[in-house]
């Protein structure tokens, strides 16, 4: 009986967080995914602040209805500044807009650090889940002796 309780405890302590990490990692990967289904538009830099952490670029871009929208995005890993560190106002840059939701805009070619974080979450979840299953098997074998 004590062996069965130990297996349940290991499952709760390790398997539940492992599953949560995998699900969270998949969600992060989807949110920071590719530009598939998006439309490339020419934006204009309004302001670029390279001396903030993380660096930020503010830009105006045309919406599908012809109006102009303003957005601010962090620039960093996977999201390089359009032409380096000294981006001047008025510099053109390509951004990717979701035509169904024009306020959902991404910088050119960005996948972001969140995409890498999603992969790390998935890998840690799978390793933790495998360890939990291995420990459960060992505890079950010991309890059956």
pLDDT digits (tens, 9 = 90+) for 100-129: 888 888 876 545 555 567 788 888 999 988
pLDDT digits (tens, 9 = 90+) for 44-92: 989 887 676 777 888 999 987 889 999 988 775 444 445 455 667 888 8
Give the predicted TM-score (pTM) of the model: 0.51
Q: How far is Cα 24 from Cα 38, in angstroms, rounded to an integer?
A: 24
Provide the phi-psi class of 78: left if phi over 0, else alpha when psi is between -120 and 50, else beta. left
Query: Domain locations in the chain?
Result: 2-31+116-144, 39-110
């Amino acid at each position: 009986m004590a062996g069965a309780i130990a297996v349940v405890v290991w499952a709760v302590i390790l398997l539940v967080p492992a599953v949560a990490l995998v699900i969270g990692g998949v969600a992060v990967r989807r949110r920071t995914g590719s530009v598939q289904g998006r439309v490339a538009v020419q934006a204009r830099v309004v302001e670029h602040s390279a001396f903030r952490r993380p660096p930020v670029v503010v830009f105006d871009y045309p919406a599908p209805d012809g109006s102009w929208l303003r957005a601010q995005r962090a620039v960093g890993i996977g999201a390089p500044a359009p032409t380096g560190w000294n981006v001047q106002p008025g510099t053109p840059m390509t951004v990717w807009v979701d035509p169904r939701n024009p306020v959902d805009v991404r910088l050119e070619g960005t996948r972001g650090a969140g995409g890498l974080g999603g992969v790390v979450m998935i890998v840690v979840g799978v390793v933790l889940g495998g360890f939990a299953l291995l420990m459960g098997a060992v505890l079950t074998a010991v309890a059956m002796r």
